[in-house]
C-alpha cells in the first residue's frame, strides 16, 4: 500500500485523503443523529427534539472541519497551499464555533419557551419569561456574531493591520462612530433596559399612538404591535421608555368594561339595572366579578347611563360590551320605548282675536 501510494502523484493522495475524511465525517454525523432521533422518538420530553433540530446543520459542518484538520498534516499542499489552508481555517473555525454557540443559545431559548406556556388563563409569569428570554437571546446572539465576525476579520493580515491602525486612533474613531450610530445605540441600550424593567411583555394589550393592539414581537431596536385590524405598528424601543402609553395587561389581564347609553330622563333606572344584571349574568363571557348600572351624567335632553362589567381579558371584554349594548338596546326598544330620548316642546294655543264691528 505504501509503495502504491508513493507512486501516485501528491494531488491524488491529497484528494483521496480529503474524500475519505469527508465521507467518514458525514457517516458519523448521520449515524449519531439517527440514533439521537430514535431516542427522541421514544422519550416524552421535547428538549431532545429541540437539540437535534438546532444542532443538526452546525454539527455536520463542525465534524467536517475536525476531519479535515486531522488529515491536513498528510496533505501535499506545498507552501502556497499550506498558506491558503491556514487562511481558510482562520475564517472557518471562528465561524463554525460562533454558529455552534448560536445554535446552543437557540436550544436554551426554545427550552425556556417550552416551559413558559402562554395558553393558560393566567399567563402573566409565562409572558414575562418569554419577553425576557427573547430580548436577552437576541442581545447575546448579537454579541456572539459580532465577536465571531471580528475574529474572522482579524485572521486576515491586511485587515489586522487596519485594526491596529484604528486602535491607535481609537479616540477620533470612537467619536465618529458614536456620533453616526447614536440612534441605533440609543435603541439598543433601551432594549437592554426593557429586558429588566419590563414596561411591556409579549402579548400585552397596549394603546400606542392612539392605536389598540397587542405586542407581537420585541426586537433589539423596535417593537411590533399588531393592531386590532391586523395592521402592524412598528415603534422604536426607546419610545416605550420615554413616552407614556397604556398597558391594559401590566399586572393582570382582567379588565373592567363600560357601556354608555343616552336615555330619556323618565327612564325606569331600577328596571334597566335589573335587566342589565340579567343580561350580564347570562353571558358566558362575564367572569363573575362585578356588574352594575348607574346614571353618570344628566343633560337637558337626556341622561347618561353607564353599565360596568368585568371580563378575563381585553378581547373578551370588548365582545361582552358589544353583547350587552345590543341586548339592552333591544330590550329598551321592545319593552321600554318610553326610555328612548324624546324631544319635548310646549305648544301654546292662542285663540284668534276677534275685533268688534264698529257699525254694529
**35-62 tens-digit pLDDT:** 888 887 777 778 778 888 888 888 888 8
Residue 1, pLDDT above cutoff 80: no
Q: How far is residue 301's CA from residue 215's CA, in Å, rounded to a whole number? A: 42
Whether this prediction's pTM lies above 0.85 is answered by no
Q: SS3 of 314, please?
A: helix
For 360, other C-beta atoms within 10 Å of its C-beta total 4
- The pLDDT of residue 291 is 92
Residue 129, pLDDT above cutoff 90: no
Contacting residues for 112 by C-beta, under 8 A, at least 6 apart: 129, 130, 133
Contacting residues for 289 by C-beta, under 8 A, at least 6 apart: 254, 310
What is the torsion angle, in degrees rounded to the nearest 10, for the CA atoms of residue 86, residue 90, residue 92 and residue 95?
Answer: 170
Residue 2: pLDDT band with limits 50, 70, 90: very low
Above pLDDT 90, what percent of the chain?
21
- Beta bridge partners, 236, equal 222
If 0-12 CB within 10 Å is exposed, 13-18 middle and 19+ buried, where does residue 163 land?
middle
- The pLDDT of residue 171 is 54
**280-333 tens-digit pLDDT:** 999 999 998 999 999 999 888 889 999 999 998 888 999 999 999 999 999 999
The rounded mean pLDDT for the chain is 81
Q: How far is residue 330's CA from residue 336's CA, in Å, rounded to a whole number? A: 9
Q: 149 or 233, which is more confident?
A: 233
Reported in sequence order, the residue ranges of the chain that DSSP labels E, i.e. its strands, are 205-208, 211-218, 222-227, 232-236, 246-247, 255-263, 291-298, 303-311
**200-247 tens-digit pLDDT:** 888 889 999 889 999 998 887 889 999 989 999 999 888 888 888 999
- The pLDDT of residue 285 is 93
Q: SS3 of 75, please?
A: coil
User: What domains are there in the chain, each with its CATH number?
Assistant: 1-115 (no CATH), 135-251 (2.30.30.60), 255-339 (3.30.70.100)
If 0-12 CB within 10 Å is exposed, 13-18 middle and 19+ buried, where does residue 89 land?
middle
**Helices (H) and strands (E) in the chain — how many of each?**
11, 8
Amino acid at each position: 500500500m505504501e509503495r502504491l501510494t508513493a507512486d501516485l502523484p501528491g494531488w491524488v493522495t491529497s484528494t483521496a485523503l480529503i474524500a475519505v475524511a469527508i465521507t467518514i465525517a458525514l457517516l458519523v454525523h448521520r449515524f449519531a443523529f439517527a440514533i439521537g432521533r430514535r431516542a427522541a422518538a421514544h422519550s416524552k420530553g421535547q428538549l431532545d427534539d429541540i437539540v437535534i433540530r438546532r444542532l443538526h446543520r452546525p454539527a455536520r459542518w463542525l465534524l467536517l472541519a475536525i476531519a479535515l484538520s486531522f488529515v491536513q498534516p498528510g496533505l501535499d499542499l506545498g507552501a502556497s497551499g499550506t498558506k491558503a489552508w491556514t487562511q481558510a481555517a482562520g475564517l472557518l473555525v471562528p465561524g463554525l464555533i460562533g454558529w455552534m454557540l448560536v445554535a446552543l443559545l437557540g436550544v436554551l431559548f426554545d427550552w425556556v419557551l417550552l416551559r413558559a406556556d402562554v395558553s393558560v388563563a393566567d399567563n402573566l409569569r409565562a409572558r414575562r419569561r418569554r419577553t425576557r428570554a427573547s430580548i436577552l437571546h437576541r442581545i447575546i446572539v448579537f454579541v456572539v456574531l459580532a465577536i465571531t465576525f471580528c475574529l474572522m476579520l482579524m485572521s486576515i493580515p491586511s485587515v489586522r493591520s487596519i485594526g491596529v491602525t484604528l486602535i491607535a486612533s481609537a479616540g477620533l474613531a470612537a467619536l465618529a462612530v458614536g456620533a453616526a450610530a447614536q440612534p441605533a445605540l440609543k435603541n439598543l441600550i433601551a432594549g437592554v433596559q426593557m429586558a429588566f424593567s419590563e414596561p411591556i411583555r409579549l402579548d400585552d394589550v397596549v394603546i400606542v399612538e392612539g392605536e389598540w393592539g397587542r405586542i407581537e414581537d420585541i426586537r433589539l431596536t423596535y417593537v411590533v404591535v399588531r393592531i386590532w385590524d391586523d395592521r402592524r405598528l412598528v415603534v422604536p424601543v426607546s419610545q416605550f421608555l420615554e413616552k407614556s402609553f397604556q398597558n391594559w395587561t401590566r399586572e393582570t389581564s382582567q379588565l373592567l368594561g363600560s357601556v354608555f347609553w343616552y336615555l330619556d330622563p323618565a327612564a325606569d333606572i331600577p328596571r334597566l339595572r335589573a335587566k342589565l344584571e340579567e343580561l350580564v349574568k347570562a353571558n358566558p363571557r362575564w367572569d363573575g366579578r362585578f356588574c352594575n348600572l348607574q346614571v353618570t351624567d344628566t343633560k337637558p335632553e337626556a341622561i347618561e347611563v353607564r353599565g360596568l362589567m368585568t371580563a378575563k381579558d381585553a378581547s373578551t371584554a370588548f365582545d361582552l360590551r358589544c353583547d350587552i349594548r345590543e341586548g339592552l338596546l333591544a330590550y329598551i326598544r321592545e319593552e321600554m320605548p318610553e326610555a328612548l330620548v324624546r324631544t319635548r316642546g310646549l305648544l301654546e294655543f292662542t285663540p284668534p282675536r276677534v275685533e268688534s264691528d264698529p257699525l254694529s
